[in-house]
């Protein structure tokens, strides 16, 4: 079977970042050309017989090409951050941070927990799809997110919201549109089998800083259980977010929903330390702390802006240890500099671990090099976040690898 080079073969030539195999040399390698043998005119030239052995059957060519048999799915792949980080670094104003980041241009780049993939890689790939998740894994994401909601037959799936199928899938181009109710198309309107027939698309309408380049040939939707299997095989951690139950279904309570998420990690034998369940609803977090303490102690409370110190103390007393907050809630732009908020510093002092969301979510001019890496640097060094969500995690992987973050 023909197999693809995956970058891990020690015998393979190393990529030095240049555009040519012979970059830096004035000429191609010299090749010695031997003259043809000339037989004396009075001798007969006897050529060896043609080989009659049939060529070895390499088997059918399969696309996409599989990994070598010796490499399991969990074997770490070489991280490929792509061209965007280089564009952003070149775009930065001259200074110590730019100099440091430019010094890391040749890598090596590694997978880090600092780099959290928000919905996969939705800057360019349809969100919550297999293709987007694989792109994020290749770009060095150490943690990936499945936003969890449920279907009509009480199966968990990865979607940003229960009723966003109009905007993130091709449901309106299928017969399933007839099952939508109340002017909205919800996962709870269809079964898991029906859900799996849909294709993901870029969140409509596609913003001008995004692209449909990969949308036509990607968009494989995933159940929550399938995302767990994919992430586990890749050796990455997981951060599912329990989405609001906008529409209920008979015989399925909120507690059933909360518990089912945890149960699917248990069924897959995932170490609780590799899972950080998220929710914007504090009662969800408190449910897991009480009923599933091994998962609850790593749960992340999502809140756009951090509360006052008294409220923080109350959260800590209830067992909350991790808070994810918006970029403006942690380090807003003040004048021409990003500055940690007093609430962020107070939360760190109170013993909370902090996570920021979401880099690469906005278009230009908000994604200039100074804004992207300037804010990321403040989040990492002054706020002390343990990770940052990003819509294009290669940008974060470049920074994290350069700064030696884990």
pLDDT in tens, 290-347: 999 999 999 999 999 999 999 999 999 999 999 999 999 999 999 999 999 999 999 9
Alpha helices (H) in 201-335, listed in sequence order: 224-234, 254-267, 282-291, 293-296, 309-317, 327-330
Average pLDDT, stretch 39-51?
42
Domain count of the chain?
1
Is the residue at 7 inside a domain? no
Q: Percentage of the chain with pLDDT > 90? A: 74
209 pLDDT band (50/70/90 cuts)? confident
List, as one string, the DSSP characters of 302-323. Answer: E-SS---HHHHHHHHHTT--EE
Output the average pLDDT for the chain: 85
Tell me: pLDDT of 23 over 60: no
pLDDT at 365: 66
How many other CB atoms are there within 10 angstroms of residue 268's CB atom? Answer: 13
Is the residue at 391 inside a domain? yes
Give residue-wise pLDDT tens across range 159-182: 999 999 999 999 999 999 999 988
Is the residue at 100 inside a domain? yes
pLDDT at 206: 83
pLDDT at 364: 66
Is the residue at 325 inside a domain? yes
Q: Residue 330 in contact with residue 356, Cβ under 8 Å?
A: yes
Is the residue at 293 inside a domain? yes
Is the residue at 55 inside a domain? no
For the entire predicted model, the pTM comes to: 0.81
Domain housing 246: 84-402
Tell me: pLDDT of 369 over 70: yes
Is the residue at 40 inside a domain? no
CATH number of the domain that 283 lies in?
Answer: 3.20.20.190
Give residue-wise pLDDT tens across range 243-272: 999 999 999 999 999 999 999 999 999 999
Is the residue at 45 inside a domain? no
pLDDT at 76: 54
């Amino acid at each position: 079977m023909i197999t693809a080079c995956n970058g891990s073969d020690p015998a393979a030539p190393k990529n030095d970042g240049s555009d040519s195999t012979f970059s830096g040399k004035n000429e191609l390698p010299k090749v010695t050309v031997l003259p043809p043998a000339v037989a004396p005119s009075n001798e007969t030239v006897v050529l060896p017989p043609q080989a009659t052995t049939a060529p070895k059957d390499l088997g059918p060519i399969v696309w996409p090409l599989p990994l070598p048999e010796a490499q399991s799915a969990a074997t770490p792949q070489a991280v490929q951050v792509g061209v965007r980080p280089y564009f952003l670094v070149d775009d930065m104003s001259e200074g110590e941070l730019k100099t440091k980041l430019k010094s890391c241009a040749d890598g090596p780049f590694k997978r880090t927990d600092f780099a959290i993939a928000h919905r996969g890689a939705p800057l360019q790939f349809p969100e919550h799809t297999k293709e987007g998740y694989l792109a994020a894994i290749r770009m060095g994401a150490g943690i990936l997110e499945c936003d969890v909601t449920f279907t009509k037959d009480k199966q968990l799936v990865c979607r940003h919201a229960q009723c966003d199928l109009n905007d993130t899938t091709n449901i309106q181009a299928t017969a399933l549109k007839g099952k939508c109710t109340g002017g909205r198309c919800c996962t709870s309107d269809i079964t898991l089998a029906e859900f799996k027939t849909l294709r993901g698309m870029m969140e409509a309408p596609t913003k001008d800083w995004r692209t449909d380049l990969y949308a036509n040939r990607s968009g494989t939707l995933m159940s929550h259980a399938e995302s767990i299997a994919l992430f586990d095989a890749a050796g990455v951690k997981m951060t599912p977010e329990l989405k609001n139950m906008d529409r209920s279904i008979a015989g399925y309570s909120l507690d059933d929903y909360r518990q089912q998420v945890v149960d699917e990690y248990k069924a897959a034998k995932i170490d609780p330390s590799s899972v950080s369940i998220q929710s914007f609803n504090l009662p969800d977090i408190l449910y897991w702390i009480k009923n599933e303490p091994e998962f609850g102690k790593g749960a992340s409370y999502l809140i756009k802006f951090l509360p006052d110190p008294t409220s923080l103390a109350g959260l800590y007393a209830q067992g909350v240890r991790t808070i994810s907050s918006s970029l403006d809630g942690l380090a807003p732009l003040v004048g021409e500099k990003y500055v940690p908020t007093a609430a962020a510093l107070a939360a760190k002092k109170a013993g909370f671990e902090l996570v920021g969301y979401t880099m690469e979510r906005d278009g230009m001019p908000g994604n200039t090099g100074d804004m992207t890496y300037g804010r990321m640097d403040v989040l990492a060094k002054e706020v002390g976040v343990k990770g940052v969500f990003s819509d294009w995690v290669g940008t974060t992987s470049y920074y994290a690898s350069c700064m030696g973050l884990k």
